[in-house]
Amino acid sequence: MTENVGVLGKKSAQRTQRSGVERVVNAPLPTVYGEFRAIGYLDHDRGDEQVALVYGEIGTEGVLTRLHSECLTGDAFGSQHCECGDQLASALRAVVAEGSGIVVYLRGHEGRGIGLLAKLRAMALQAEGLDTVEANLALGLPVDARDYGVAAEMLHDLGVQSVRLMSNNPRKREALLRHGIQVAETVPLLIPPCENNITYLRTKRERLDHHLPHLDAVAHLS
């Protein structure tokens, strides 16, 4: 009898296990850029907590949108190894200037999906001369492990059907299209490079197909 109850309990748990993305909270978030709404989601498949920063009345078509991959070193610490922190700030400013828009902040995307410690290991290898692609491969890790399905689900939940996507990465556009979000326009998000990140950015352009035409004007940087 006890054994049967245990089996039934397991079956019940399997039936009630959640999947997909669930909206959990909608809270006002005043920032230095403007008054956003922080809409929090739980990704039941991966266990990640995600957030969409929504500004103004977004509508359904042509919503100015940024899918921003979590980057602790760039977003919080101001690292010049990448341009992530500047891109986040620029995207937030852009949606405020537009009067409406969304910045989807994607947790679990650290280091193009390999995690914080692995990213730091890759950065150490880059300091020794490898580029960002070679460093990931040397660690036995994928070059880019990010999945944008959760971002598309969040946009669907927000009623968005098409976006003006702030990105230099064609893979983001392709991912949204696969998941049923139309991309009306790709809006470049170009950050002036510096000596510390020019090699990284050139690798993104040459090996990861990022659209970074502004790099041609800074040949003087090493």
Indicate which residues carry an active-site annotation: 144, 146
Task: Give the span between the Cα atoms of 77 and 156, in whole angstroms.
Answer: 32
Q: In what order do the strands lie in the sheet with 35-43?
A: 21-30, 35-43, 49-55, 101-106, 63-69, 162-166, 182-187
Q: Which two tokens stand for residue 118?
A: 């692995």
Task: Give the span between the Cα atoms of 107 and 141, in whole angstroms.
Answer: 18
Which is nearest to 57 in space by CA: 41, 37, 38, 40? Answer: 37
Task: Give the span between the Cα atoms of 91 and 95, in whole angstroms.
Answer: 6
Q: Which two tokens stand for residue 42?
A: 């739980």
DSSP string, 100-139: -EEEEEETT-HHHHT-HHHHHHHHHHHHTT--HHHHHHHT
Task: Give the span between the Cα atoms of 156 and 114, in whole angstroms.
Answer: 26
**Distant-in-sequence, close-in-space partners of 94: CB < 8 Å, separation ≥ 6:** 64, 66, 101, 166, 187, 189
Cβ-count burial of 171 within 10 angstroms (0-12 exposed, 13-18 middle, 19+ buried)?
A: middle
